[in-house]
Amino acid sequence: MPLIKLDMLEGRTENEIRQILDVTHDVMVRNFQVPERDRYQIVSQHKPYEMIIQDTGLGFERSEKMLVFTITSRERKQEHKQKFYQELTEELEAKCGIAPNDVMVSFMINGDDDWSFGFGEAQFLTGKL
């Protein structure tokens, strides 16, 4: 865990999506010290009329390359999240050509009892994780 849900407009290739997911995972591992195989990513693609993602009055535009990350996770330190935001946008721009204004991230915080990775168990509570 964390669980990353990524919403984007339709039209990217499989390789483009894989590269976005790989960059995201690398930044996640580096900033939150999650294990390499702690990778849970779900992509949803939408028609343009299904996503309205504005700027909350900050005065910038978004393009058809916009990405919305919803990250469900345990509590993370504020400074780690801020570094994650910065590195994610920098690497997505450098490796995927996605402008920083096209990246939106929202964390949803939950606890150990909110996770079951299978077998009907809460592995954080049973001590298996």
Q: What is the pLDDT of residues 31-56, one digit of tens each?
A: 999 999 999 999 999 999 999 999 99
**Alpha-carbon distance 40 to 5, whole Å?**
8
Number of domains in the chain: 1
Q: Is the pLDDT of residue 90 over 90?
A: yes
Active-site residue 2, yes or no?
yes
pLDDT at res. 1: 80
How confident is residue 29, by pLDDT bands cut at 50, 70 and 90?
A: very high
Record the pTM.
0.95
* Domain range for 64: 2-126
Residues contacting residue 4 through CB under 8 Å, at least 6 positions apart? 24, 28, 40, 41, 42, 69, 70, 71, 72
CATH number at residue 51: 3.30.429.10
pLDDT bracket for residue 28 (50, 70, 90): very high
How far does CA 89 lie from the centroid of its chain?
11
Distance CA 88, CA 105 (A): 10
Which residue is associated with the tokens 């809460």?
122
> What residue type is assigned to position 1 of the chain?
M
Query: What is d(CA 10, CA 55) in angstroms, rounded to the nearest whole number?
Result: 21
103 close to 69: Cβ distance less than 8 angstroms? yes
